[in-house]
Structure 1
Amino acid sequence: MKKIFALLFIVSITVGCDQQKTDKDSVNQEQNTAALWEENPWPEIRKKRIQTLLPNALKQAEVEAWLTICRENNNDPIADHIGGENAGGTAAFLFYNDAQGFNSVVFSPSGEATALDELDIHDEVVSVERGSSAVQQAADFITEKNFEKVAINTSETNAMADGLTYSQHQELKKYLADFKGELVSSTEVVYQWLSIKLPEEVEILRNAAQLTADWQVEAYKQVKPGVSTDADLAKFLKNKMAEYGVKDGWAPAQNPNVNSGADRGHSHATDKVIMPGDVIQIDFGIKLYDRWVSDIQRFAYVLKEGETKAPPTIQQYWESGKAGNRAALAAMKPGVKGVEVDRAQRVLMEKAGSEYVMWSTGHPVGYVAHDVGPNLGGSQASHVRPAAQRELKEGMTFAFDGFHAWKLNEKDLKTISVEEMAVVTNDGAEYLIEPQEELILVSGE
């Protein structure tokens, strides 16, 4: 069973000091940071998500049933959320609400049905003998139940809800020739289900966020102005990931993105040498248990000779970005649209004289860095994406920024994007970890 460390300490943000550690200090730190190993909680969390969140997702989507077809090698993207990740032969997973309540039944090839049944995820696993079609048996069941609306995995907007292939779709329609109800997209089912995280998942995301932030602070302690490069800091963070056995939060080639120069957008760390006067951005995310993802940024200023703090202009930019982040958090609560959260911090950007920033204020984060849920953007766009018109709900988790951008020269911009993670509560939202309050100061001493 895959295991990872759960971190129990918070690294000090003091940078530039060379602390001497005794053997006793090292032992204590090892006990505090690496003593706790945990079994992968996904199997139990997955089961709970199906039992407690999926029934309401079907209701919110206004469908009675949801059908997913799983198979080997070219599986449905939602497969491991429903227990279909080990499918060999074609299997049909059906979830539905009826007068008796919520139900889940799987029509599985006989060679795999026993193992699937032993996972105890579903109410019933029907063994389909060789030579028979699991899809046909599922279709017969759907026809017999006389559902009015059944969601299937076709979607124009959500890749997680678009796993049904053309040939599978054709086969399903053939077997449903006598079905009087309607087949609809599962976009809304998947949205309603995946956008909400259980409290147990929020705690895992909290741990992931803390690790991510702590390691960035450690990385800044390694900086030697005039010598260290952005790529050196990225390498340090890659080594931390390897040491703790965690994976990248997004594409490995661009995680982490360390940038001490002009804005480069989503990109890789380069060999640019970090110099006094630079503002350094680290955008970094990790994946715990091969499942839950963080997305946190931390910023530092490299002191010039004779400086003991950031100059007033840089400090002003930092305070502006931080204020935007705090305004976005204050705007988050159930019932508020994503575009309204974006607008809350854009107002402050305008007052502070920030240059235009094309990025959305925030995005859902959880199973991937850009997860299913409302987009926190659109207030300055020519058109608002549908996801930005969606309302926030309790249990949704976000990574979001407060922006301030300024011109370095005629063509280059530099943006401070104070990115934190938060969860929506019943009456507001709260940070997953303590947010960055001050610029980290890097000295050459």
Structure 2
Amino acid sequence: MVKHFFLRPKAFIYVFTFTLIFFLSLASLSSQDLNWEMSAVGDINKILPPEKQAEVYNEILAWRLDNLLPQIMRREGIELWLIICFEYAEDPVYRTLIVQPMMSARRLSILLFHDDPAEGFKKLTANWHGSSTCGPMYTSIFTEDYRKKGAEGQLQAVADYIRKKNPKNIGLNTAFHWEYFDDFSLGLGLSAFFKTKLEQALGPELSQKIVSAEKVCIGWLETRSPRELSLYRHLVGIGHDLIKEFFSNKVIIPDVTTADEVVWWIRKRLLSLGLEAWFQPSLDIIRSPENTERYGKQDRVIRRGDVLHCDVGFRYLGLATDMQHLAYVCRLGEADAPAGLKELLKKGNRLQEILMSEFKEGRTGNEILRAALKKGQAEGLNPRIYTHSVGFYGHNSGLTIGMVEKQEFVPGTGEHPLYPNTVYAIELSVTGEIPEWNKAKVTFGLEDQAVFTKEGCRWVDGYPRNFYLIK
């Protein structure tokens, strides 16, 4: 027998209200978990002097070499990893393996990492000047007897060591996938010249043990240590402080200041802070059709009613940032941006939320891309996703989630799995009509740093959910 249960009107209101609050609180909790709020603790005023930067960097490098690199080489099945390059023609990975204040290779430079089954993990060098040009953690195998033979002696020292140890394989920074380009592997730094010279020194039998170390390069470049994850909050905080400075009336006078003047203000500000801009900053003007007709398409003066889109990145403590934020230049009498522009920014934030919710350990970049685009399209966001790893480099090696021109499949690092303790530039865009601009279609590009750990994906130091306002 079915018993029917009825709620009195007053009780129904209580139950409905409780249920609504419960689900809203869950949504709020999910939003809070992403760490949306920016710290705003004045990180830009706490930049370390160069000598302290070098000290911190070298401590981190020593820890990474002892704790991360052996794990990555074992994961990828590489017993001996070899990096060979010339001064000013460095393998991009080489520069991440040497101490500061070394800024480049010196003459012919060679590093070897051997996960010796009998004697443990070894960090070796055959640099001409020994460990003084790469770091005290390296042991030189380039003795005076080899020095008499010049640069050939350096390669001979390597070949003799490999011949003596007879590792199961020799990982080189090259790849054997000729059917596609991989924009974000950074694992192809070995020149054809040095590969040939090494093979000559090794001989045909040992040369057969050469394999690609591309995945070791990716793992080394993308994986962050606990201390780096902590420092990234400080780095991103500096970036947020910088954007807040120039997206303000302190730098911009509406109808006077040009976008190019702001760009060069950013460059000079970075120089004054001792920070390295890894690309030229940009400032794009997004303008209503009415104002475009009034001022002309080539006008670079910042006008009232404009949306400003910046793209800024710098390197500090061996780590890079990459950010795109939005500002609105208020018309006289306005206190905020028009509702249509605010709604489009809200859609951008929603796409960020969708994408970060799809970060699951072991998923490939292409799997995350497909899942996020499907949800974004279902919600009418007109999404485009082109997210990449950040770390030693701004366009770092690691998992890639889409590219501007590849919204279905990215070969190579698009098929790379998601590992914990990795940091990303959550870069994407949404497109929508702006009612206040006669329904003109506008695209907003957004970008900032997020970290993926065992606990999930969250912002490193938040992201704006409102426009910076210039009055």
Q: Structure 1 residues 274 and 427 mapped into 2: Cα distance closer, same or farther (>3 Å)?
A: same
Pair 1:397-2:412 in alignment = no
1:113 correspondence with 2:130: yes
Match of 1:79 in 2: 94
* d(CA) in 2 for partners of 1:414, 1:136: 61
**How big is the shift at 1:433?**
0.4
Match of 2:354 in 1: 327
Amino acid at match of 2:410: V
1:212-223 correspondence runs (5 A): 212-222=239-249, 223=252
In 2, Cα distance between equivalents of 1:224 and 1:92: 53
Shift of 1:258: 3.7
Q: Do structure 1's residue 131 and structure 2's residue 154 form an aligned pair?
A: no
Quote the offset at 1:352 in angstroms: 4.4
- Matches of 1:395 and 1:154 in 2, distance apart? 25
Q: Distance in 2 between matches of 1:159 and 1:352?
A: 33
Alignment check: 8 A CA contact 2:287 2:305 kept: no
CA shift for structure 1 position 194: 1.1
Query: Equivalent residues in 2 for 1:25-424 (5 A)?
Result: 33-34=45-46, 37=49, 38-40=52-54, 41-83=56-98, 87-99=105-117, 100-109=119-128, 112-113=129-130, 115-116=132-133, 119-127=135-143, 128-131=146-149, 133-155=153-175, 157=182, 160-177=186-203, 179-180=205-206, 181-222=208-249, 223-250=252-279, 252=280, 255-261=281-287, 272-289=300-317, 291-355=318-382, 357=384, 360-377=385-402, 381-406=407-432, 414-424=442-452
The 1:136–1:257 alpha-carbon spacing in structure 2 relative to 1, beyond 3 Å, is farther
C-alpha displacement of 1:55:
1.0
Of structures 1 and 2, the one with the larger relative CO (CA 8 A, separation 6+) is: 2
- Give the corresponding residue for 1:16: none
The whole-number CA distance in structure 2 between the counterparts of 1:35 and 1:134 is 40
Amino acid at match of 2:127: S
- Does the 8 Å CA contact 2:248/2:468 hold for their aligned counterparts? no
CA distance in 1, matches of 2:403, 2:282: 26
Deviation at 1:417, TM superposition (A): 2.4
The structure-2 alpha-carbon separation of the partners of 1:69 and 1:239, relative to structure 1 and needing over 3 Å to count, comes to closer
Q: Cα offset for 1:313?
A: 1.6
Q: CA deviation digits over 1:277-306, x for unaligned, max 9? A: 2221111111114x3211112212223344
Q: 1:206 to 1:114 in 2, by over 3 A?
A: closer
Contact 2:44 2:242 in 1 (8 A): no
Change in CA separation of 1:129 and 1:86 when aligned onto 2, cut-off 3 Å = farther
Counterpart CA distance in 1 for 2:226 and 2:330 is 41
One-letter amino acid of the counterpart of residue 412, structure 2: P
**Offset of residue 244 of structure 1:** 0.9
Q: 1:122: how far off?
A: 1.8
Q: Tell me, in whole angstroms, the C-alpha distance in 2 between the residues paired with 1:85 and 1:311.
A: 49
CA contact (8 A) 1:71 1:90 kept: yes
Give the AA of the match of 1:94: L
How far apart are the structure 2 equivalents of 1:66 and 1:178?
Answer: 19
1:432 corresponds to which residue? 460
**What amino acid is aligned across from residue 314 of structure 1 in structure 2?**
L
Q: Contact conserved, 2:309 with 2:324, CA < 8 A, in 1? A: yes
Tell whether the 8 Å contact from 2:85 to 2:194 is kept in structure 1 after alignment: no
Identity %: 22
Which secondary structure does the structure 2 equivalent of 1:297 belong to? coil
Q: Distance in 1 between matches of 2:104 and 2:447?
A: 37
The structure-2 alpha-carbon separation of the partners of 1:143 and 1:271, relative to structure 1 and needing over 3 Å to count, comes to farther
Larger fraction in helix: 2
Counterpart secondary structure, 2:127: strand
Residue aligning to 1:3: none
Q: Which amino acid aligns with 2:273?
A: Y
Q: Is the 8 A contact 2:285 2:308 kept in 1?
A: yes
Structure 1's unaligned 5+ residue stretches are 1-8, 13-28, 263-269
Q: Is the 8 A contact 2:370 2:408 kept in 1?
A: no
Q: Deviation at 1:86? A: 5.6
Question: What count of residue pairs does the alignment treat as equivalent?
Answer: 402
Cα contact 2:322–2:425 (8 A) shared by 1: yes
How far does residue 389 in structure 1 lie from its aligned partner after superposition?
2.1
Unaligned 5+ runs, structure 2: 1-37, 289-297
In the superposition, relative to structure 1, how do residues 226 and 154 fare at CA in structure 2: closer, same or farther (>3 Å)?
same
RMSD value, Cα: 3.1
Cα distance change, pair 108–315 in 1 and its aligned pair in 2 (3 A): closer
